[in-house]
Chains A and B, each alone.
Chain A
Amino acid sequence: MGEQGTMEIERLYPLPNPDSQPYWDGLRDRRLMLQQCADCGSIRHYPRPVCDQCYSMEVHWIEASRRGTVHSWSVSHHAFHPSFKADLPTTFVTVDLEENVRLVGILRDPEVTLSIGTALQVGFEDAADGAFSIPVLFAA
């Protein structure tokens, strides 16, 4: 049991379904894949079955630019599960991608000074136990 606000939480793994499998497969193959509406062309994230602009359920997947800018960030000094302890402190960054959707990644570049609008690029790494791959971030 934790002190105030620090209760341990179960480790979570992605549970890909037909809507999200191409995203996770893409990360494993070192490609950032996003859903694009096959009817109106809107790009959406996180993956889901319906386009909220035109209600089409037809979708194709595009490979994203991997370029973006900082929208916000947070630096975790407490791991809410033991498997993340070795990685502390961990900087999680919310990035505005060029494709006009956002992505959360872990900053892996100690040289970056964060502020809103800082340019970053998306890279990839395998999660600690190799079960899946995640987006990470570097200076553009």
Chain B
Amino acid sequence: MSDGLFEKGAITGIGETAYTRGSGKSDTALQMEASLKAIADAGLSPKDIDGVVPYASGSTVAEDFITNLGLPDLRYSATTPLGGASCVAGIQAAVSAVATGLANHVLIPIGRNGYSGSRIGNRVQQMPQFRTIGEYEMPLGTLAPAQLYSHMARRHMELYGTKSEHFAKIAMNGRKHAAMNDNALRQAPMSLDDHQTSRMIADPLRLFDCCLESDGGAAVIVSASERAKDMVRKPAYIMGVAEGHPDSPSAITQRPDITTLGTAKAAPRAFGMAGITHSDIDVAEIYDCFTYIVLCQLEDLGFCKKGEGGDFVSSTSFGFDGDLPLNTHGGLLSQAHIVGMNHVVELVKQLRGDAGAAQVKGARIGLVTGYGDMGDGTVAIMRS
């Protein structure tokens, strides 16, 4: 396996706004606030930023960062339109840019009013990745990710005996960690009974299987590794990074195996590039738009075999002090929906030893995933 981008880049700065429901700020303001925090965290000036990867499904373009931050010479820009897999795909693009010398410090910002902002659906059919289901499935009333993804979950349950209680354990784990995090929206404890009695949204997915809708921004800086070693923060070196697209990427229902995500293609590439095995992972921040999607990724990442996700979830402790510390910030389910950039930021904090109450003791190597647009999967493996 090619070592490709192995340790060619590192995350050198992180920034987050407050995560709220009602920011009172524009999407652009949220992105700029997070970007300025990340640049300051890296010990850089905006004048040092020479690359930017804006969120492809968002409201800004590279030009907005030149205008607002006064970037004197932006040399590299790209977008990675993979929905919730975009942030980690953005890391892949950024490392490619710093590895080849196209740029030195690449800013990856995200920010949106996912709760208080305007409705998201009116653009769906104009977005090429949703054109197919927008034409053939959504007119029937199966509009939302919860509805579309529940077909995957139901088939997994029927084929492999996976239970709603397995999903509950993932939701409860996120909530436990959110309660330890000052910048998390959901702090009240969640019991198994709370999960099992939460409102059914799209059977088998209940309300507590679904992520939050929230307002906020987050950003990271990816720098060339030879620069990172002299910067103010302990770098999070990117050992492996990859993206994968499932067969029939635009329509889940036409996919040969609807229980397998693009993650299954990305994971061997990311682990191969990093040159490590699953037992080397000290902490995992796994994209959790829905509880089932976490269980499915655990399989597709290779932590267990396809179909064994239920048993694996039952037999593994996911707390910050457990067998496989998982979503130590609370995730999209209980911290906030910042499109997975909050997962990237949390992994960097863990590798710096800066993760507060939910710090995983001695965390040295960690994994972060993205997932989106009906099945795209991204994986990054980092070390301190």
A140 proximal to B (CB < 8 A):
no
A16–B134 Cα distance when bound, in Å, is 11
The stretch of A29-37, A56-64, A66-74 in contact with B is A66-74
A53 proximal to B (CB < 8 A):
no
The stretch of B149-157, B266-274, B323-331 in contact with A is B149-157
Q: Is the CB of B151 within 8 A of A5?
A: no
Q: Is the CB of A92 within 8 A of B207?
A: no
- When C-beta atoms are compared, the residue in chain A nearest to B114 turns out to be A7
Within 8 A of A (CB), among B195-210: 199-204, 207-208, 210
**B interface size (C-beta, 8 A):** 45
Of B124, B137, B202, which contacts A76 at CB under 8 A? B202
- Chain A positions 83 through 101: 1 when the CB is less than 8 Å from some CB of chain B, otherwise 0: 1100101101010000001
Instruction: Knowing A4-B212, A92-B147, say if A10 contacts B201 (CB, 8 Å).
Output: no
A37–B132 Cα distance when bound, in Å, is 19
Instruction: Knowing A3-B207, A7-B119, A7-B213, say if A74 contacts B202 (CB, 8 Å).
Output: yes
Q: List 24 A-B contacts (CB under 8 A).
A: A6-B146, A6-B210, A7-B120, A7-B144, A9-B144, A12-B125, A12-B139, A15-B134, A74-B151, A74-B202, A76-B142, A76-B147, A77-B199, A78-B201, A78-B202, A81-B141, A81-B143, A92-B141, A92-B147, A94-B151, A103-B253, A104-B253, A106-B140, A116-B159
Of A8, A46, A78, which contacts B135 at CB under 8 A? A46
A23–B137 Cα distance when bound, in Å, is 13
- Chain B positions 149 through 191: 1 when the CB is less than 8 Å from some CB of chain A, otherwise 0: 0111011001100000000000000000000000000000000
A7–B141 Cα distance when bound, in Å, is 14
Q: Is the CB of B135 within 8 A of A14?
A: yes
A106–B231 Cα distance when bound, in Å, is 58
**A residues with CB within 8 A of B:** 1-10, 12-16, 20, 23, 45-46, 71-81, 83-84, 87, 89-90, 92, 94, 101-106, 115-116, 127, 132, 134
Q: Is the CB of B201 within 8 A of A6?
A: yes
Kindly list chain B residues whose C-beta atoms are within 8 Å of the C-beta of A83.
141
Q: Give 3 nearest A-B pairs by CB, closest first.
A: A5-B210, A9-B121, A10-B121
Least CB distance from B272 to A in Å reads 28
B296 proximal to A (CB < 8 A):
no
Interface of chain A: mostly helix, strand, loop or mixed: loop
Instruction: Knowing A10-B124, A75-B203, A104-B136, say if A5 contacts B143 (CB, 8 Å).
Output: no
Least CB distance from B147 to A in Å reads 5
Instruction: Knowing A10-B119, A72-B154, A77-B199, say if A5 contacts B146 (CB, 8 Å).
Output: yes
- When C-beta atoms are compared, the residue in chain A nearest to B334 turns out to be A4
B138 proximal to A (CB < 8 A):
yes
B2 proximal to A (CB < 8 A):
no
Kindly list chain A residues whose C-beta atoms are within 8 Å of the C-beta of B155.
71-72, 116
A7–B158 Cα distance when bound, in Å, is 28
B303 proximal to A (CB < 8 A):
no
B99 proximal to A (CB < 8 A):
no
Within 8 A of A (CB), among B88-138: 115-116, 119-122, 124-125, 132, 134-138
Q: Is the CB of A46 within 8 A of B136?
A: yes
- When C-beta atoms are compared, the residue in chain A nearest to B134 turns out to be A12
- When C-beta atoms are compared, the residue in chain A nearest to B130 turns out to be A12
A132–B135 Cα distance when bound, in Å, is 12
Q: Is the CB of A45 within 8 A of B254?
A: yes
Q: Is the CB of A9 within 8 A of B199?
A: no
Least CB distance from A61 to B in Å reads 15
Q: Is the CB of B139 within 8 A of A13?
A: yes
A113–B321 Cα distance when bound, in Å, is 44
Q: Is the CB of A77 within 8 A of B147?
A: no
B211 proximal to A (CB < 8 A):
yes
Least CB distance from A122 to B in Å reads 13
A54–B374 Cα distance when bound, in Å, is 26
Kindly list chain A residues whose C-beta atoms are within 8 Å of the C-beta of B203.
74-77, 89
Q: Is the CB of B151 within 8 A of A12?
A: no
Q: Is the CB of A72 within 8 A of B158?
A: yes
Kindly list chain B residues whose C-beta atoms are within 8 Å of the C-beta of A103.
253
Known: A20-B135, A80-B147, A92-B147. 8 other contacts (CB 8 A): A5-B201, A72-B151, A72-B155, A72-B158, A78-B200, A94-B253, A116-B155, A134-B139
Q: Is the CB of A15 within 8 A of B135?
A: yes
Kindly list chain A residues whose C-beta atoms are within 8 Å of the C-beta of B204.
74
Instruction: Knowing A3-B207, A4-B207, A5-B213, say if A92 contacts B139 (CB, 8 Å).
Output: no
B258 proximal to A (CB < 8 A):
yes
Q: Is the CB of A74 within 8 A of B142?
A: yes
A84–B147 Cα distance when bound, in Å, is 13
Q: Is the CB of A79 within 8 A of B151?
A: no
